[in-house]
Amino acid sequence: MICATGVCVLFALLIVREVRKDWTPYLLLAAALLFAALTLPGVREIVSFARELESSVRAVGDGEVTGIVLRALGIAWLTSAAAELCRASGESSVAGWIETAGRVELIALSLPLLKELLAAAGFAG
C-alpha cells in the first residue's frame, strides 16, 4: 500500500513540476502527511510494545528510558521528514541546519540517561 502510494505521489510530483512548479512544496507536504497517516498503525504498535516492555522491566530510571527512546525516535523521524521536505524544495542549506538542530536535541535528550549509566558504572557521582 505504501509503495503504491509512493509511486502515485512520484507521478503526481513529476506532473506538477511540469505544469505548476510553485505547487511542488505543497504536494510534498501533503505527501508527508499522507505517509505519516499511513504509518500511524505501526507507530501505535511500537508505542504499545514499548509501554508493555516498560511495565515488565523497570531497569534504569523507573521507565524513564522508554520515554527517552520514544522521544528520540520522534525527533529523528520529524527531523528527517522536515529536512527531506526542504531538500525537495531546493533548500538544502536549511535541511542541513534542521538536521544539525535535531542532532543537538537528541544529544540533550540523552544526557540524563548517559549520566545515570555513568553513575551506575561508577564513573560519576
Region 43-57: mean pLDDT is: 74
How many domains is the chain partitioned into structurally? Answer: 1
- Residue 30 in domain: yes
Q: How far apart are CA 3 and CA 18, in angstroms?
A: 23
Question: Is the pTM above the cut of 0.85?
Answer: no
User: In terms of residue numbers, what domain contains 45?
Assistant: 25-120
- Residue 34 in domain: yes
Lowest mean pLDDT among 48-52, 56-60, 83-87, 121-125: 56-60
pLDDT of residue 79: 92
Average pLDDT over all residues of the chain = 82
- Residue 3 in domain: no
- Residue 4 in domain: no
pLDDT of residue 103: 93
- Residue 125 in domain: no
Cell of 5: 502510494
Under 8 Å CB-to-CB from 56, ≥6 apart: which residues?
none
Contact status, residue 107 vs residue 71, Cβ threshold 8 Å: no
**Count of positions (residues) in the chain:** 125
